[in-house]
């Protein structure tokens, strides 16, 4: 960011991110974004002309944040188990800092799946990298064979669901106790890492 961080535009974007991520496009109100940014509603339109433009700016940024961590693990040259550990650790950390992110991305993509094609293109990530790393370990007899796509989806599901499913988990398993849920979350890195590695390690 070369510009000053306290410009009106930045304040609007910050506010819009809070509101959109919490309420989604349909649930968000321009008025609420204006309030959150402590400015007038008309200024939103002065800067972004319409709700759609503002939303797109937020979605773009959110998706960048959501995706790169998936990409990193594929790009590095580490051995597979380190790759997995690195990915899970980093990804869960990011999710803990952005708990609304996954639900927002999922919901908005399902609401408008066409959106994704433009965004994917500009990401330049190639899942093949992880495939190569996995094949190496299979050849060395270190792990059982597994389809790299399934492996990545497994890891994503294990990392994401505890965040998206907060209300269900809290309500259903912890009787509404947010503290118990937080404790549960703090165990996830260790739990997911060993769960994944156990499942692909040769017996």
Residue 110 touches a copy of itself, criterion: CB under 8 A: yes
Reading the block at residue 105, the tokens are 């991305």
Task: Pick one of 16, 57, 133, 160: the residue that binds a copy of itself (CB under 8 A).
Answer: 160
CB of 9 to DNA, least distance (A): 7
Buried b (16+ CB within 10 A) or exposed e, 38-60: ebeeeebeebbeebeebbebbbe
Give the footprint of a copy of itself on residues 117-146 (CB under 8 A): 117, 120, 125, 127, 144
Residue 16 touches DNA, criterion: CB under 7 A: no
Considering Cα of 173, then 175, then 180, then 185, what sign does the dihedral take? positive
What's the half-sphere exposure (Cβ side, CA atoms, 13 Å) at 67? Answer: 18
CB of 9 to a copy of itself, least distance (A): 26
Smallest Cα–Cα separation from 170: which of 180, 157, 160? 180
Residue 168 touches a copy of itself, criterion: CB under 8 A: yes
Task: Pick one of 29, 183, 190, 202: the residue that binds DNA (CB under 7 A).
Answer: 29
Give the nearer residue to a copy of itself in terms of CB position, either 8 or 199. Answer: 199
Helices 178-186 and 166-173: crossing angle in degrees, nearest 10, is 110
Q: Interacting stretch for a copy of itself, rule CB under 8 A, among 49-57, 79-87, 89-97, 156-164?
A: 156-164
Give the nearer residue to DNA in terms of CB position, either 11 or 166. Answer: 11
Residue 177 touches DNA, criterion: CB under 7 A: no
The length of the chain is 203
CA angle (123 as vertex; 121, 125 as ends), nearest 5: 100
Residue 49 touches DNA, criterion: CB under 7 A: yes
Residue 97 burial by Cβ neighbours in a 10 Å radius (0-12, 13-18, 19+): exposed
Compute the 3-state secondary structure of the chain and give helix, strand, coil in percent, each to the nearest 5: 75, 0, 25
Give the residues lining the site for a copy of itself (CB under 8 A): 23-27, 67, 70, 100, 103, 105-107, 109-111, 113, 116-117, 120, 125, 127, 144, 147, 149-150, 152-154, 156-162, 164-173, 176, 184, 187-188, 191-192, 195-196, 198-201, 203
Residues that bind DNA (CB under 7 A): 8, 28-31, 39-43, 45-46, 49-52
């Amino acid at each position: 960011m070369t510009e000053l961080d306290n410009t009106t535009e930045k304040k609007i974007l910050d506010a819009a991110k809070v509101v959109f991520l919490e309420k989604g496009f349909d649930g968000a109100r321009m008025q609420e974004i204006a309030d959150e940014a402590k400015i007038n509603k008309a200024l939103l339109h002065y800067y972004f002309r319409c709700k759609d433009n503002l939303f797109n700016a937020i979605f773009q940024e959110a998706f960048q944040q959501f995706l790169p961590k998936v990409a990193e693990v594929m790009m590095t040259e580490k051995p597979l188990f380190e790759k997995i550990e690195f990915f899970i650790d980093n990804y869960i950390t990011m999710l803990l800092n952005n708990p609304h992110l996954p639900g927002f991305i999922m919901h908005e993509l399902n609401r408008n799946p066409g959106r994704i094609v433009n965004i994917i293109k500009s990401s330049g990530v190639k899942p093949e990298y992880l495939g190569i790393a996995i094949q190496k370990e299979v050849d060395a007899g270190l792990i059982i064979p597994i389809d790299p796509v399934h492996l990545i989806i497994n890891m994503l599901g294990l990392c994401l669901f505890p965040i998206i499913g907060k209300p269900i988990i809290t309500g259903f398993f912890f009787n509404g106790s947010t503290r118990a849920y937080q404790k549960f979350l703090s165990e996830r890195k260790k739990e997911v890492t060993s769960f994944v590695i156990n499942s692909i390690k040769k017996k």
